Amino acid sequence: MKAAVCEVCLKNDMLCEGCSKRLEEGEISEEAVELSRYLYSLVDEYPYLEDIEISEIYVGEDVIVIVASEDDVGKVVGKGGEIVKKLASEVDGAIRVVEVSDNLKKFSKNLLPDVKIYGINRVFSPGEDYYKVVVDSDDSSRIMLKEDEFAEVVERVTGEKAKLSFK
């Protein structure tokens, strides 16, 4: 299993020097470490989890976003959503599993599956360049991430700056 921390750290309660440094520098969060360890603890019950690759775990205020490879999204969700339900009860919150993509447009659509996206446009401004993701304002209640959380997770995964805009 490839997760937020190395396999040695998944198996132990303490973090190695490398993973500790990543935690201190903010590359990973304490919640991501705990969630990765919990997923690893389910390997005996769900052996196919041993082969999954999780590229990012983002902990928002109302939702935790797990970014996995295309082939692993279904494995992380589990049959009938059973693994996600276990994860949600473990953290007492909502979980969203999305497919990783370095393509901002594809990733934004994966991150906002129940939201009508009117367009994704590149904005060139004197201070910064970014993508504006224009969504239907009627769908704002379906977006589980706050605007700044959306921008942060998109930048961490794709390397591109993005902002939500409502129409």
Backbone angles phi, psi at 123, to 5 degrees: -110, 125
Are residues 124 and 87 part of one domain? no
What pLDDT shows up at residue 113?
87
Count H helices and E strands in the chain, helices first: 7, 6
Round to whole Å and give the CA distance between 29 and 41.
19
Beta carbons of 121 and 132 less than 8 angstroms apart: yes
Are residues 94 and 27 part of one domain? yes
Beta carbons of 122 and 128 less than 8 angstroms apart: no
What pLDDT shows up at residue 93?
86
What pLDDT shows up at residue 85?
94
Are residues 160 and 80 part of one domain? no
What pLDDT shows up at residue 53?
93
| Structure letter (DSSP) for residue 108 | H
Beta strands in 60-139 (DSSP E): 63-68, 94-99, 117-124, 129-135
Are residues 83 and 29 part of one domain? yes
Are residues 92 and 12 part of one domain? yes
Round to whole Å and give the CA distance between 99 and 86.
20
Q: What residues of the chain score a pLDDT lower than 50? A: none
Q: Which residue range forms the structural domain that includes residue 58? A: 7-99
User: Does any domain span residue 95?
Assistant: yes
Are residues 119 and 80 part of one domain? no
User: Does any domain span residue 1?
Assistant: no
Are residues 119 and 95 part of one domain? no
User: Does any domain span residue 2?
Assistant: no
Backbone angles phi, psi at 51, to 5 degrees: -100, 5
What pLDDT shows up at residue 127?
85
Are residues 121 and 70 part of one domain? no
User: Does any domain span residue 67?
Assistant: yes
Please state, in angstroms and as integers, the Cα–Cα distance from residue 141 to each residue in 112, 116, 118, following that order.
11, 12, 16
Q: What is the model's pTM?
A: 0.89
> What is the CATH number for 139?
3.30.300.20
What pLDDT shows up at residue 27?
86
Which segments of 4-80 does DSSP mark as H helices, in order? 7-11, 17-24, 30-41, 73-77
